Amino acid sequence: MSGWTAQGKAAQAASAAELRYRMSYPLAPSRGVRVVALDSGAESVVRKVAASSTWNKVRFYAAETILNSHGIHSAPVEVVLHGLDGAAESLNDELEDVDSTIMVATSDFGSEAAATIGAACSVRGIMTAGLVHGEDTEHTVSALRPYAQVLLVPADDGDLEAILTAMRA
Amino acid sequence: MLRQEINELLTKTGPGTEMGDLFRQYWIPTLLSEELPENDCPQVRVKILSERLIAFRDSQGRYGLVDEFCAHRGVSLWFGRNEDNGLRCAYHGWKYDVTGQCVEVPSEASNSRFCANVKLKSYPLVKVGDVLWTFMGDPAKAPPLPEYEFAHVPASQTFTSKRLQESNWLQALEGGIDSSHVSFLHSSGLQSDPLFMGAEGNKYNLGDYKPYFEVVDAPGGLFIGARRNAEEDSYYWRITPWLMPSFTMVPPRGDHPMHGHFWVPIDDENCWVYTFDYQPVRDLTQAERQAMKDGYGVHSENIPGTYLPVRNKSNDYLMDRAAQKRGETFSGVAGIAIQDASLQESMGPIVDRTKERLATTDAGIIKARAKLRKAALALRDEGKTPEGVDPAHHRVRSASVVLPRNESFIESVSDKLKVQPGVRQASV
């Protein structure tokens, strides 16, 4: 019986009876989660979820992409985040003390914004996820893939709320 | 985290529960066919979805799955006699056929019709491959029989085993769709297990501890793609299919067999794990088959004559700290299946998901829970048939592939995720 750890038996907690002794205390919510709608279709998804619950540490935005001075579609571009009340916020400021950023898209319209947000998260060690809504997802997925560590394809209406809840956001 | 009421909805599978009703829409593994090896062999007690049943094979080879207890005085028919096309209670000799119909009450007059009015609850029991399957829902709505590839290739190409897991089915299933733990918990197995070692993909698996995930909704369930760095211009993808409610396949390695699991609730605190290995286009070698019987790969070494793992909760899974220190195992527990079981059982019989904290990389688990809940509620409220009932959904494969960095698995290898008779699996 090599290695049988009789001394550890007292600490086993795998029975229903022993489970009663597992310590119970409130877990801290997530440090912070940012949800960014990359296009107008995504904004309606995000608005619905924002209104569905009282969230702890989630902020919801719609991204506005400001092309570079030549008006050419190539990164880097500037992204301004608009809170759901319309107030403009700086991307850099809004990524302070954040664990995860979730980008929501229904088209590849926001691919430049995704690139900029993804790069900003990468240098800060912030996890990124992408939720791709809609039926024709191929182009949207291609646009988000390089910048999201997790992609849900296609996402449905309940996925964003389920993820935020699971993360204690 | 998950709200307590949702955790209860997803984990309770007894009669009348939402998830129990969902499971009762599917053909589910009930026994290995080796458990009823010949006509009139000993009957077997079965507990499944919190119902106590007895399975037997009559004199004509017909399988029966009926209420365990005699209608007369509630005696267990496990003590009965399986003879002459029926199961006879040992107490007063009442006899039942494979449909549960009472066919003899010896104490009644020989011309009495008393027994015609006595019938035990019964379910169909059908052999497909090495497994006996049952359907516990409305008989009028029984779908066609299952078409999972492992159960349809020739017997020489497939092997199925079974083990008890002392935990709720859902936390066991969730381990099956969580690809990122492989690089830690099973890291030593990739280098030493005869059914895993030597595959080209193993080095990519062990070389990248931060996989990217794509969770793709598909008819019947999900495909969960885990992407790791391969070469400078390529990624290594491991693609895990999950079919509702509790079928998963593990992405294959090299020329090793394909494999996967069914997690079948016994009750709310225990489940059977049915584990299969198969080769789509060739026979299993003798060495492969022996390794599976010995508990390598995703199988377990069981106590002879039982389906109880040798390494189990009662003996701390034969924890070997010295082997852990030598680097032979990551957790100190030997065997891939029991490495998983030990951790999942340690969560408690039903893990309290109100206390967990998931991350974005757990999106596959989050999505699977959401699909199960949605399907259970749609069945309850609208009578909607859930995904995965249609046998067309069963014809999936797992895959492991190396792709150029600009390609996605779902666009590049969708044909390889479908069963193609006579075509080898996609495996690196």
Which two three-digit tokens encode residue B317?
């899974």
| Each residue's pLDDT tens digit, B130-174 | 999 999 999 999 999 999 999 999 999 999 999 999 999 999 999
Q: From the CA of B189, how many Å to the nearest CA of chain A?
A: 19
The DSSP annotation for B365-386 comes to HHHHHHHHHHHHHHHHHH-PPP
| Each residue's pLDDT tens digit, A20-56 | 788 888 888 788 999 999 999 999 999 999 999 999 8
Cis peptide before A154 (omega within 30 of 0): yes
Q: What local confidence, expressed as pLDDT, does residue A4 receive?
A: 44
Range name among A122-131, B45-54, B189-198, B342-351 with the lowest pLDDT average = B189-198
Residues A152, B24: Cα–Cα separation, whole Å: 29
Does position A9 have pLDDT exceeding 70, yes or no?
no
Q: Which residue has the tokens 């916020």?
A: A89
Q: Which amino acid is present at B24?
A: R
C-beta of residue B396 within 8 angstroms of C-beta of residue B249: yes
Burial class of residue A71, CB neighbours in 10 A (0-12, 13-18, 19+): exposed
Residues B134, A60: Cα–Cα separation, whole Å: 48
Strands A127-132 and A150-153 come out as: parallel
* Chain B nearest-CA residue for A20: B348
| pLDDT (average), residues B240-253 | 97
Helical residues (DSSP H) of B267-402, grouped into ranges? 286-293, 321-325, 336-346, 363-382
Closest CA to B269 of B376, B211, B345, B191: B345
- Please state the pTM of the whole predicted model: 0.94
Q: What local confidence, expressed as pLDDT, does residue A3 receive?
A: 43
Chain B partners within 8 Å of A14 (Cβ): 166, 313, 345-349
Chain A partners within 8 Å of B318 (Cβ): 1-4
CA dihedral B249, B251, B255, B259 (to 10 degrees): -20
Residue B269: half-sphere exposure toward Cβ, Cα within 13 Å:
8
Using DSSP's 3-state secondary structure scheme, residue A110 falls into helix
C-beta of residue B136 within 8 angstroms of C-beta of residue B23: yes
- Between chains, do A167 and B316 touch, taking CB under 8 Å as contact? no
**B143 φ, ψ to 5°?**
-80, 170
How many Cβ contacts (< 8 angstroms) between chains A and B?
Answer: 119
Q: What local confidence, expressed as pLDDT, does residue A2 receive?
A: 42
Does position A5 have pLDDT exceeding 80, yes or no?
no
Residue B231: half-sphere exposure toward Cβ, Cα within 13 Å:
7
Residues B121, B99: Cα–Cα separation, whole Å: 8
| B171-193: burial string, b at 16+ Cβ within 10 Å, e else | bbbbbbbbbbebbebbbbbbeeb
Strands A33-37 and A58-66 come out as: parallel
Q: What local confidence, expressed as pLDDT, does residue A121 receive?
A: 97
Out of B2, B318, B360, the one facing A127 most closely (by C-beta) is B360
Percent of chain B scoring above 70 in pLDDT: 100
Residues B280, B278: Cα–Cα separation, whole Å: 6
Chain B partners within 8 Å of A165 (Cβ): 1-3
Q: How confident is the model at residue A17 (pLDDT cuts 50, 70, 90)?
A: confident
Does position B210 have pLDDT exceeding 50, yes or no?
yes
Residues B386, B407: Cα–Cα separation, whole Å: 32
> Which of A7, A33, A149, A156 to substitute to test the interface with B, most B CBs within 10 Å?
A149
| Each residue's pLDDT tens digit, A52-99 | 999 989 999 999 998 766 555 555 679 999 999 999 999 999 999 999
Chain A partners within 8 Å of B405 (Cβ): none
Mean pLDDT across chain B = 96
Chain B partners within 8 Å of A149 (Cβ): 210, 212-213, 360-361
Q: What local confidence, expressed as pLDDT, does residue A1 receive?
A: 41
